[in-house]
Amino acid sequence: MKLIPSRTDKSLARPRPPLFIVSCVLALLAACATAPQPKVPATPSQLYGELFEAVQTQRVFPDSKTFVDAVAKREPAEIVAAYRKERSTPGFDLHAFVKREFDLPVAAGAEYRSDPGENVTQHIDHLWSVLTRDPAVEIEYSSRLPLPQRYVVPGGRFNEMYYWDSYFTMLGLQASGRHDLVRSMCDNFALLIERYGHIPNGNRSYYLSRSQPPFFAAMVELLAAHEGDAAYARYRNALLLEYEFWMDGSERLNAGMPAHRRVVRMPDGSILNRYWDDRATPREESYAEDVATAQASRRPAEEVYRNLRAAAESGWDFSSRWFADGKTLATIRTVDLVPVDLNGLLYSLEQVLARAHADSPARAEEFRARAGDRQAAIHKYLWNSQVAAFTDYSWRENRAGAQVTAAAVAPLFFGIATDEQARGVATAVKGQLLAAHGVLTTTHATGQQWDAPNGWAPLQWMVIEGLRRYHNEPLANEIATRWVKQNLAVYKATGKLVEKYDVVTGGGAAGGGEYPLQDGFGWTNGVLRALLERYPAQ
């Protein structure tokens, strides 16, 4: 793969002789003239306009995601013309019209029934094939983005490849010996980066304006643990492009413009990151919900939409973590915060980029220096001595947040924390977040799915691994034991592994959010399979 110097910082581009620069420019121009340019597909709202708005606002389907995943049976323009002609006729039925003109999606794994004779490890190993999809070919009028290799979907309504879900799914695939799928999914993510300049939330056209927590570097590390350092070289170009996406505009920041897209200039001039979305409209897969939220707020609608979308990029959609009042979705202010977990992920990306440049010591040192600068900024701005834990930081108000969430463990997971800080986080986890059946996401019960009483597999893994990294095995083992027992109890009672769990009551039926509890479920399977390998006595 060709090495592309970062556009986000001129210091990343090593000095070259003029002749070399000229030849590179000529080669680039020639490549641009001959290579097919990536086609950014239209989204459902762009294709269907007023029909899209009618379907979503009139709640034709209980789940707003149904329509954006449907596939038109003929030219979208023809369908819209038919809608305009028929909608004013007596007895017009919008639901019947949509069923006539579109093939509706089927839930992933809907046909699967677990075998009561299987233990949970066998169940997970068999479920991988149920959740595996063959290469996604380009289907006319579908929102699904094509992918060249096989991949695993989460399950239920989530019948596409999701970004951060996939890392935790890969943990289980590795434990199951499915290295082939780990490799093919990494290849898919690299292609998405090279095709669109970033990894979208999922491989759908309506997700292209945002990403998700950037775990691609962690995926490459996971693959390297099996294949060796050649994995770093294989994905170096994709890693660089991923970094450029997250750091876009950093060289233009100053006191007059402290933030741009996903970068924020801190008071001392250091650069940290935030979540963002390039669109300020309702999410197409949650259109009616977002319109209702904006209407409930007294703020400009575009401001609300941007913050809702940015929270969707965070993966924590939604949580009191992002709310100005700590209670109400209408007060969401995601883009005003510098999240501790996001900056831990970008520290990891900088470290992996240094390893990927083992053949270029100067360039490797540049990335190590960037990681060191980020670590110092995390210690300065995201360590909250008042609560003795890492918290998010409000860059507009220039103050640390007071809320302790499960994201506080990210600096332990990525090896950023000092030993003293790690002890403080462990105390906060044990005293505030540890529940009967795992770790709470937050201590606030708002009715949102990323709040109490819910616990999520990816956060349990990060807490457990973060504590183990700082030699707190007793607490890590206790959390793993509680979480695994909860997963196994629900599986024994229902034959299912689900998206999230109530870690307070142990009832298993976690609630909150914009859609019903989903089973399947990719990252729950992955984390549980990996934990059972680590703790076989469970």
**Residues with catalytic roles:** 317, 499
Cis peptide before 453 (omega within 30 of 0): yes
Q: Which two tokens stand for residue 226?
A: 């099996």
**Following DSSP, what letter does each residue of 337-353 receive, concatenated?**
EE-HHHHHHHHHHHHHH
Q: 3-state DSSP call for residue 210?
A: coil
Task: Please report, in angstroms and rounded to a whole number, the separation of the first and last CA atoms in the chain.
Answer: 44
CA separation for the pair 213, 201 (Å, rounded)? 9
Q: Which two tokens stand for residue 10?
A: 């001129």
Q: Which residue shows structure tokens 């992955």?
A: 526
Largest alpha-carbon pair distance within the chain?
74
Alpha helices in 378-506 (DSSP H): 410-413, 419-428, 457-469, 473-494
DSSP state of 141: T
**Closest residue by Cα to residue 360 from 9, 8, 16:** 16
CA distances from 496 to 132, 233, 287, 524 (A): 17, 39, 30, 10
Calculate the CA dihedral of residues 184, 187, 189, 195 and round it to 10 degrees. -140
Cis peptide before 52 (omega within 30 of 0): no
Cβ burial 363-373 (10 Å sphere, 16+ → b, else e): bbebbbebbee
Beta-bridged to residue 133, according to DSSP, are 151
- Beta-carbon contacts of 144 under 8 Å, excluding residues fewer than 6 positions away, are 69, 136, 160, 203, 204, 205
CA separation for the pair 141, 276 (Å, rounded)? 27
Q: Are 167 and 215 in contact (CB under 8 A)?
A: yes
CA separation for the pair 151, 131 (Å, rounded)? 8
**Closest residue by Cα to residue 482 from 463, 510, 509:** 463
